[in-house]
Chains A and B, each alone.
Chain A
């Protein structure tokens, strides 16, 4: 199965590169809806091809492939290959070291506390749409939390801000309850749409915290100005709070008001950390190697810049 995925991936890359071979001359396609009515892409073409305007561009055979983005393509391929190789390597059963992430270790204990107290667990999957990685990471953690609440029979409350997050959240929670053999305990309204407006959403959650006094509050996803409003209210309600976000501006607020905070990439590592799935853990290892490569590139840049000879080096990273 894994080989199939890699094959598909490589095929995609070949397809991508072959696109430049099948490039169509722009003059032959002047009747296309997108190009005929506009000066589409002239902004991109001008600096690269040095062409003054679209009329002139039509006379030239412009390659379909954006060679000026080759560096981005190389990095993307390198990144993908490293992640995939480590994923494959992890499948062979090699032991992978994963540093301790306190916030994630405490999730089970925090839910256990709610069970003992007979109070609900509140899970907030952030304020962005499902197409944001932070939200997806939040939903992944919700799946793990739902497993624990299903096992212990703890009430779970998940208010969401976007309809698509609602659908994904309901799916994940239902699946967790089915897997734990507690399908009867699943209630479709555990995950519910609250409001699309940021502060209407926040007000609803704050009201819930003050009325129901949940024992555990988990904030996992993208948060903005409401982060402190939520965390301070939870603090005042006496809840144990664990937060995770990749929004640097909100981290200080969560750190000040929550018991544990996952910072940046720790949030994305959560699904791998909690599930301990070798495939996911391998990806983390690959990610670390890429980070090391970036550190080396940055240090090289610093050294070259210090000797005033970094121009060629900087050009390697220029992309439009």
Chain B
């Protein structure tokens, strides 16, 4: 009951701030409302069922169909700025891959923070599943010029990455003895917040015929429907909702699922404010039209 009252209060605050926005034409009221709607569900959580989209299901099925102990390349192509959307995807992917005993090779095309994020997330997940570095997973880290990196790895990985992220030569890492180029990789799981996805598709998928599945930020997702439609991309996670759907599929409700309450409320608030704005716009136009003496 208390929760219901709290949400009724939230709606009243939202309507009031929207009214102030219309009245004063000051966009800061709308910013304040968005802030409140984002924060609120973290204090009083909303349990909303997540429905799995066909694109997420396709990615899950592709990973599920891999034979156990397959080698998967997982990329951390995102800056710390997009962590809330992308890190849950990486975590969910690692849950799935480690559970299937896949050998995981990670890399990043992001210089600032990319190597640290991939190292931290992978080690944390490996600990949960009792995986050992160099046997079950390897972090290649970052190398400059992503186009050259992506192309070069098609020939020989250790020309591009002579050492792993911590400086150990690849020849000394047991797992890498059998992984020389893309031909030794069964699936590529790209998690990205930028246009690098295009290169994974046009260079790696198109030229080396490796299945590529992607997790991208919500704003990028519509563009990549083109690759899904043409059958080039094997599954797509769109933003935090995509991550929440994947969490549901692997049965590990985590950060993305928790974020669904905030995302739902803010979306609904924006829809409401756009509709309210249009209603006011309509009446104002009508009023102006009537004042001008109607149709001439």
Contacts and interface: CB of A to CB of B under 8 A. Distances in A.
Interface in B69-112: 79, 81-82, 111-112
B111 A196 contact: yes
Contacts of B111: 196
B139 interface: no
Most central of A197, A199, A247, A249 by chain B CB within 10 Å: A249
A73 interface: no
Given A40-B180, A43-B181, A44-B208, A34 B195 contact: no
Interface string A294-320: 000000000000000000000000011
Interface of A: 34, 37-44, 46-47, 128-129, 131, 196-199, 222, 224-225, 236, 247-249, 319-320
B180 A199 contact: no
Interface string B125-161: 0000000000000000000010100000011100100
Contact of A37 (B145, B156, B219, B220): B156
B210 A43 contact: yes
B194 interface: yes
Interface of B: 27, 79, 81-82, 111-112, 145, 147, 154-156, 159, 180-184, 193-195, 206-210, 217, 219-220, 222-223
Nearest to A248: B223
B180 A38 contact: yes
B219 A225 contact: yes
Given A44-B207, A196-B111, A249-B219, 17 more contacts: A34-B159, A38-B155, A38-B156, A38-B180, A39-B183, A40-B180, A41-B181, A43-B183, A43-B209, A44-B208, A47-B209, A129-B145, A224-B193, A225-B193, A225-B217, A225-B219, A320-B209
A47 B207 CA distance: 12
Given A196-B111, A199-B79, A249 B183 contact: no
B194 A41 contact: no
A51 to B, nearest CB: 12
A219 B240 CA distance: 28
Nearest to A200: B112
B195 A222 contact: yes
Contacts of A129: 145
A136 to B, nearest CB: 14
A3 B219 CA distance: 47
A39 B194 CA distance: 31
